[in-house]
Every structure is written in C-alpha cells, then in structure tokens.
Amino acid sequence: EIGKITIAIDGPAGSGKSTVAKRVADALGILYLDTGAMYRAVTLKALRAGLALDDEAALAKLAAATALEFKQTADGSYHLFMDGEDVSAQIRTAPVTKAVSAVSAVAGVREVLVKQQQRIGRQGGVVMDGRDIGTVVLPHADLKIFLTASLRERAYRRWLELQAKGDTVTIDEVEEDLKRRDAFDSGRSVAPLRPAPDSVTLDTTALSIEEVVERILALASSSFCTMQEG
Ligand code: CDP
Ligand code: CDP
C-alpha cells in the first residue's frame, strides 16, 4: 500500500527539501524525518560541551550518548527533542549552522545517526530528507529525488527566511555561507552529497513549492504502481 512507501530526498541547502518533504509526507499521511536536524542537534550539544570540532572520538561518543526524538505538535509542525529538551529553535542558529558540516563529516557520528535513521526507514511509510538518504541511508527507497536550484536562488530563499526572523545578514553573506557548506558536504570522504544513480533530479529554481510537491506526488504514485507489479 502507498502508506508503506519510502521516499528519499537529497540536495544542497535551500533547495527546498524540508519544505517539500513535509508537504509530501502530509499529503500521503506518512512520517517525515529531517535528518539534517539530527546532525544539527549533535552539533549543538558538542558546542555546549566545548568539544573541539576535530576531536572525532569525542564527537562520536557524544552522538552515541544523545537521545533524539521528533514530535509533531497540534499545529502540524515538527519539534526535535534532544535528551528531553526542545531544541527546534536552537539548532537553526548561526553558530550551529557554521559548525554542522564539520561534525557531520565525522564517520563515527554518521554511523550512530544513520543506524537510527535506518531503523525508522525499515518500517516504511516515510519521507526522509538529507544529503545521503538515497545513497547510504535508504539505498532501496521506492523513490529517490535530488532537489537542486541555482546558488543565487537558494541564497535568496534562505535570506528571506532570515529577514523574517529579524536577521540583518546580506544576501551575499548567505550565498557565501551556502557555497562553503555545499563544497564541504560534497567534498567530504564519508557519504558526500551527490545524486544516487537511480534518483530523479528536479531543478526547482523556477518552480513553486506546490509544483515541486505535485511532481513528487506524481512520481510517488507511478513508483507505487511498479511496486505493485514487482
Ligand atoms: O536545511 P539546511 O539545508 O540548511 O541543512 P540541513 O538539512 O539542516 O543539514 C545541515 C547539515 O547537516 C548539512 O550541511 C550537512 O553537513 C549535514 N547533513 C548530512 O551530512 N547528512 C544528512 N543526511 C543531513 C544533513
Ligand atoms: O531543506 P532545504 O535546506 O533544502 O530547504 P528549506 O529549509 O525547505 O528552505 C527552502 C525555502 O525556499 C523555504 O523558505 C521555502 O518556502 C522556499 N521555496 C521552496 O522550498 N521551494 C520552492 N520551489 C520555492 C521556494
């Protein structure tokens, strides 16, 4: 049944993964898992503990000792609890965004989080977004999407969000930050950001959120038909 479908959505920052993944999950009545939020939470904890971002052993140990849980609130939004504390807002702050790529390049950290993600993916009925979902976490996903958009467009989207929060950062600064993070995520040796060979790439530069969601839902229903045949 389509309620058991697994959908992997990967792509660079600001391509629309989490916005679109949430809507696709709601439309299909299935779970949404934001794997980036998990890496951000471990990063927040590491910063609070004052760990050096190149101390791989300490970072891996910290990840293994962290309890992560997503809860959907009455208004439909997802909140992440780290060791029982709601860290949803804190994980989006600039220091975390700056440090997260270094923490998520640590193999031992990935091992811990990927295992948790796979445990959730095994039950089916999930849309997961991140960088390595189609390549590493869910290599057998029923549908794999690689979302992209031009760097300028992605920077503009992120800048609009920051403006709404009262941040006075410039669009050029946001663009520099995205560029640096994309290069780091694509260039690392463990689980680099890249499209899975069997993924469908959607360039969302000139598409609305609704158009992207519709395309993914159409792909989901056709992959569901082949699931039934196969
Ligand atoms: O939302 P945004 O694109 O800013 O980033 P995110 O999805 O919250 O991910 C934050 C960072 O976590 C990324 O820049 C990656 O370094 C890392 N990440 C990862 O390595 N693997 C994943 N599956 C998800 C995120
Ligand atoms: O998760 P990721 O970093 O890939 O992107 P996001 O956090 O969902 O942010 C994407 C931003 O672009 C949001 O503010 C969306 O409203 C907006 N947007 C989009 O997601 N998709 C479009 N086709 C157009 C705009």
Q: In the chain, which ranges are continuous DSSP H helix?
A: 17-28, 35-49, 56-64, 94-104, 107-122, 151-164, 171-187, 209-229
For residues 51 and 207, what is the distance between their CA atoms, to the nearest angstrom?
A: 41
Please tell me if the CB atom of residue 157 comes closer than 6 angstroms to any atom of ligand 1: no
Query: CA-CA distance, 26 to 29, in Å (whole number)?
Result: 5
Residue of the CA atom closest to atom 13 of ligand 1: 101
Tell me how far the alpha carbon of residue 207 lies from the centroid of ligand 1, in angstroms.
22
Does 221 show up as a binding residue in the annotation?
Answer: no
Q: Is the CB of 103 under 6 A from ligand 2?
A: no
Ligand 1: nearest atom to the Cα of 184: 16
189 assigned binding-site residue: no
Hey, which of 131, 157, 178, 180 would you mutate to test ligand 1's pocket, going by the most ligand atoms within 8 Å of its Cβ? 131
* Interface predicted TM-score (ipTM) of this complex, two decimals: 0.98
pTM: predicted TM-score of the whole model, two decimal places: 0.96
The pLDDT, as a whole number, for residue 182 is: 94
What pLDDT, in 10s, does the model give residues 59-109? Answer: 999 999 999 999 988 888 889 999 999 999 999 999 999 999 999 999 999
